């Protein structure tokens, strides 16, 4: 099992959504604790080990630290906005 940590902006984004979207995002985030590299994840940046998974119209961008068994969620946004200012 991995521990999932959300950066403050990612946590704030989840809290600002309606309940239906919150449940959807939280479900995907808890799934990352069991399997940080699910079948549909995509490696975005190999040097920084940034991964992305989809959750409906939203994208979750995260890093995996295998030694610490930790998943750090860097950004959660709508699919049209997620890549702005990513680097």
| pLDDT tens by residue, 8-24 | 999 999 999 999 999 99
Q: Is residue 86 part of a domain?
A: no
d(CA 43, CA 53): 9
> Residue 87's pLDDT is what?
62
User: What is this structure's pTM?
Assistant: 0.90
**Can you tell me the mean pLDDT for 76-84?**
89
Q: Is residue 83 part of a domain?
A: no
Q: Is residue 87 part of a domain?
A: no
Q: Is residue 60 part of a domain?
A: yes
Q: Is residue 84 part of a domain?
A: no
Q: Could you give the number of structural domains in the chain?
A: 1
Q: Is residue 85 part of a domain?
A: no
Task: Kindly indicate the confidence band of residue 4, based on its pLDDT and cuts at 50, 70 and 90.
Answer: very high
Contact between residue 82 and residue 75 where contact means Cβ atoms under 8 Å apart: yes
> Residue 67's pLDDT is what?
94
CATH code: domain of residue 31: 3.30.2310.20
**Can you tell me the mean pLDDT for 60-66?**
95
**Can you tell me the mean pLDDT for 69-85?**
91
Q: Is residue 28 part of a domain?
A: yes
């Amino acid at each position: 099992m991995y521990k999932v940590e959300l950066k403050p902006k990612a946590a704030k984004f989840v809290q600002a959504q309606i309940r239906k979207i919150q449940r959807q995002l939280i479900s995907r985030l808890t799934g990352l604790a069991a399997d940080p590299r699910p079948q549909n994840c995509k490696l975005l940046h190999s040097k920084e080990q940034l991964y992305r998974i989809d959750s409906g119209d939203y994208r979750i961008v995260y890093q995996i630290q295998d030694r610490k068994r930790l998943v750090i969620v860097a950004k959660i946004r709508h699919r049209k906005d997620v890549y702005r200012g990513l680097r």
